Amino acid sequence: MANANVRVRFCPSPTGNPHVGLVRTALFNWAFARHHGGTLVFRIEDTDAARDSEESYEQLLDAMRWLGLDWDEGPEVGGPHAPYRQSQRMDLYKDVAAKLLEAGHAYYCYCTTEELDERREAARAAGKPSGYDGKCREVGAELKAQYEREDRKPIVRFRMPDEAITFTDLVRGELTFTPENVPDFGIVRANGAPLYTLVNPVDDALMEITHVLRGEDLLSSTPRQVALYRALAQIGVGNGSTPSFGHLPYVMGEGNKKLSKRDPQSSLNLYRERGFLREGLLNYLSLLGWSLSADQDIFTMDEMVAAFDVKDVNANPARFDLKKCEAINADHIRRMDPKAFADACTPWLRAPHANWAPEKFDQAAWDAIAPHAQTRVTVLSDITANVDFLFLDEPARDEASWTKAMKEGSDALLRTARAKLAEAEWNADAIKAAVVAAGEEHGLKLGKAQAPVRVAVTGRTVGLPLFESLEVLGRERTLTRIDAALAKLAG
């Protein structure tokens, strides 16, 4: 059921490089918004000056654009709740903090780190809950004056209600958190800087977010945010309603450990550099917690958008499987329009990735071979090794291939093949007939007969269909390479 009132947000902190976990979160929010014809808000949570960087901010925008995950409000597009970078909204948060203090939903906490540590240790030793103990909830005027004389700089702490918080998670069902497990928490640092714990729900309230879809790692902050929402409603910040929450399952990496941002496998840039298609990567990432149907792994983003419902997200941890990710990508490559495939490979074929000089790239040769390459690559960067024989003066010789293909008698076979190829008409069928005939003269089946020819001409035992490759390479270069192989065999 479409619901144009849906407002979701993707709100990363600009630290480090974008990673696949973040992309999965962005994707699910985007698909949910698009499914409902609702709004995706892109907000930058850059309140931690020590960790955030402009470079990372640029990378986030670039990643979203590359992925094709468009947003309706946020950086560059603006919107009714601008600005969408939290670093530009500080006054607003300070104002809300002041209101919370005034209404008694928050209080100044003067405890020093040492005092907090000490009490936490003692609570632990006594087997009691070790969160903040509420000491500063009621600080009388006298004690306050003393703290101020001691020049203690207080933080602002939110007063959690003394009752359980219950909400219905869209993925996990009803969840209840008891007060012992959700102590009062800091919302403004001693230096006056508002914290994530405050600014995230404040912005969700002000931006009228209806659904919060985010990773399970944030589940423990949800009861605090629910309580904060209720307080915000009381002081008239936002429209008074609390969004629904859906926590997306953990993504597990190698050895059943949570996939971490630091895991090389998790860096989005890596997938871009290897030449994953956005549709292939997103298709795979969508399967981390969701599926279109039991018997259809491969689908387009349009199909995902049409079918996506957060209620179908599975609460169980998902396993990140690079092999499957690659297989799905290969499938998407095979489904491309041939012209689009040829164009998409061009950045890899025109230096600096390639091992030939850029001016050796030959567009006509590429156009002719591309249709034969499309079914053979998993990621676009695979293309260079498949077609380098066309653009190098001499084939890149793989020694293992040479040893494997060049057996006793290979020189005789190559000489016969050369003679027949010199006479053949130059098209794939005729080339094949020439190699078949050469093999027959030496009592070799086609597979055995073509191996030395392939290695002589392309340098490797595996590659694109041989006869089409030779047709594109041309007679002259083919014969020259066979001659060079014969010379090497003659040693």
> How near is the Cβ of 156 to Zn ion at its closest, in Å?
11
136: annotated binding-site residue?
yes
Range in contact with ligand GLU (rule: CB under 6 A) among 10-18, 269-277, 286-294, 432-440: 10-18
Q: Report the residue from 11, 22, 96, 136 that binds Zn ion according to the rule CB under 5 A.
A: 136
Range in contact with ligand GLU (rule: CB under 6 A) among 5-13, 181-189, 315-323, 388-396: 5-13
> How near is the Cβ of 303 to Zn ion at its closest, in Å?
53
Q: In the annotation, is 99 catalytic? A: no
**Choice between 206 and 218, CB closer to ligand GLU:** 218
109: annotated binding-site residue?
yes
Under the binding rule (CB under 6 A), the answer on residue 218 touching ligand GLU is: yes
Kindly tell me the sign of the dihedral angle through the C-alpha atoms of 123, 129, 132, 135: negative
- Work out what residue 45 binds among Zn ion, ligand GLU, none; the CB cut-off runs from 5 to 8 Å by kind: ligand GLU
> How near is the Cβ of 185 to ligand GLU at its closest, in Å?
15
> How near is the Cβ of 136 to Zn ion at its closest, in Å?
3
**Choice between 12 and 74, CB closer to ligand GLU:** 12
Q: Report the residue from 6, 7, 8, 13 that binds ligand GLU according to the rule CB under 6 A.
A: 13
Range in contact with Zn ion (rule: CB under 5 A) among 106-114, 192-200, 232-240, 435-443: 106-114
**Choice between 11 and 304, CB closer to ligand GLU:** 11
Under the binding rule (CB under 6 A), the answer on residue 69 touching ligand GLU is: no
Under the binding rule (CB under 6 A), the answer on residue 224 touching ligand GLU is: no
Q: Report the residue from 33, 96, 109, 226 that binds Zn ion according to the rule CB under 5 A.
A: 109
Under the binding rule (CB under 6 A), the answer on residue 336 touching ligand GLU is: no
> How near is the Cβ of 138 to ligand GLU at its closest, in Å?
31
Q: From the candidates 94, 99, 261, 448, give the one annotated as an active-site residue.
A: 261
Under the binding rule (CB under 6 A), the answer on residue 222 touching ligand GLU is: no
- Where do contacts with ligand GLU occur on this chain (CB under 6 A)? 11-13, 45, 200, 214, 218
Catalytic annotation, residues: 261
